[in-house]
Amino acid sequence: MTGLSDSFQRPIDYLRISVTDRCNLRCIYCMPAEGIDLLRHDDILSYEEIYRVAATAAELGIKKIRITGGEPLVRIGLSRLVQMLAQIDTIDDIALTTNGTLLARYAEELKAAGLRRVNISLDTLKADKFKQITRGGDLADVLASIGAAGVAGLKPIKINMVVMAGINDDEVLDFARKTVADGWHVRFIEHMPLNREMAATSFISVNELKERLAVLGELEPCTFKGNGPAKYYRLPRAEGTIGFITPISDHFCFRCNRLRLTADGKLRPCLLSEQEIDLRQPLRQGVSAEELKKLIKKAVDSKPRKHKLAEGLVPRDRPFSQVGG
Ligand code: SAM
Ligand code: SF4
């Protein structure tokens, strides 16, 4: 097999890069209200360092990159990083995951820099609930960003909704209707229990969601562009799609194709395992190209077979906002 593959023969061709641990929101399922201890400026990889890791990973077989955070658009000059990454010949897809609060401002310049498409996290269509879930955000900013991303051609735009029983599950049908009325591509994500108290009460499985969606018509399985684990369907007459991401009820580890780079330069083979390989110190001590490749391969080789969420084992070392979700 050419390219990278791990010790379970999974091809690894996708790198998720967290460019910051900072965020302008405090979503209830992701961050505590008071925020987290932030990394120091010097601890964060520079764009040049991120580029070096990405270019070396691309030589090994990485073909797709997603930029995430924290909120990636709070980092100054993100378009410059996109432009640098777009110079890597063998990278054929650069995407961004964002909370959408700042995207309207940057959509055109990101597109010009080489960004292909965006995923926008949005858990409610109600302004007061949006404020509550994000602890202070303004829904209007996100809706404006969805419009601006469309105008800029950052397509397909995928809308990611973390479904929480008793919090926003009453809006699942409204989101699904958007796939018909406005051609949205909506993905329902099972809530991962990083916050034990919340998870005990708020988990709702995708099977239950499908049962509820049945009132809107039959869900027709379909394929849709993406590098991730979602399974896609279409409602009758819908231009948009409905995706389900099921880390709990139907884990997709057996086809996991990704590596993660944290904002402070650790390669993380699995979102849900605390294991990491440091690249920052080697990068700052002048690591050779060959040594850097060895470290990347070591991270790939150490990918665990599967996560242990179902057994209640959740990583305690970092919140999702530091690993990129
Ligand atoms: N700030 C950006 C955003 O919100 O899109 C990017 C980073 S965020 C950590 C990436 C994704 O992780 C978001 O779609 C968010 O909804 C998801 N996420 C965070 N915590 C989660 C949890 N406990 N369960 C499921 N998804 C979660
Ligand atoms: Fe910030 Fe994204 Fe986490 Fe919400 S999900 S707190 S927007 S990093």
* 189 burial type by CB count under 10 A (0-12 exposed, 13-18 middle, 19+ buried): buried
pLDDT of 295 = 97
pLDDT tens digit string along 273-320? 778 999 999 999 999 999 999 999 999 998 877 766 666 666 666 667
CA distance 75 to 56: 23
Residue 272 located in a structural domain: yes
Mutate to test the pocket of ligand 2, among 25, 130, 161 (most ligand atoms within 8 A of CB): 25
Residue 6 located in a structural domain: no
Q: Single out the residue of 205, 204, 322, 203 nearest to residue 271, CA to CA.
A: 322
Residue 5 located in a structural domain: no
Contact 12, 259 (CB under 8 A): yes
Tell me the CA–centroid distance for residue 209 and ligand 2, in Å. Answer: 23
CA distance 109 to 119: 17
Total domain count, the chain: 1
Tell me the CA–centroid distance for residue 285 and ligand 1, in Å. Answer: 33
pLDDT tens digit string along 152-201? 999 999 999 999 999 999 999 999 999 999 999 999 998 887 665 665 67
Tell me the CA–centroid distance for residue 123 and ligand 2, in Å. Answer: 11
Q: Which structural domain, as residue segments, surrounds residue 203? A: 14-322
Residue 153 located in a structural domain: yes
- Which residues, judged by CB distance below 6 Å to any ligand atom, belong to the binding site of ligand 1? 23, 29-30, 68-69, 71, 97-99, 121, 160, 162, 189, 191-192, 194, 320-321, 324-325
Ligand with smallest separation from the Cα of 103: 1
Q: Single out the residue of 248, 178, 249, 252 nearest to residue 213, CA to CA.
A: 178
Residue 71 near ligand 2, beta carbon < 6 Å: yes
Residue 2 located in a structural domain: no
For residues 260-285, give the mean pLDDT. 92
pLDDT bucket at 2, cuts 50 / 70 / 90 = low
Ligand 2 atom closest to Cα of residue 101: 7
Ligand 2 atom closest to Cα of residue 70: 8
Identify the CATH number of the domain in which residue 250 sits.
3.20.20.70
Residue 303 located in a structural domain: yes
Distances (CA, A) of 197 to 92, 176, 201, 242: 41, 28, 7, 29
- The secondary structure element, H or E, covering residue 165 is none
Torsion angles phi and psi, residue 11, rounded to 5: -70, 135
Residue 163 located in a structural domain: yes
Give the closest residue (by CA) to ligand 2 atom 4. 27
Q: How many helices (H) and strands (E) does the chain have?
A: 11, 14
Residue 125 located in a structural domain: yes
* 88 burial type by CB count under 10 A (0-12 exposed, 13-18 middle, 19+ buried): buried
Tell me the CA–centroid distance for residue 320 and ligand 1, in Å. Answer: 7
Give the closest residue (by CA) to ligand 2 atom 8. 70
pLDDT of 253 = 82
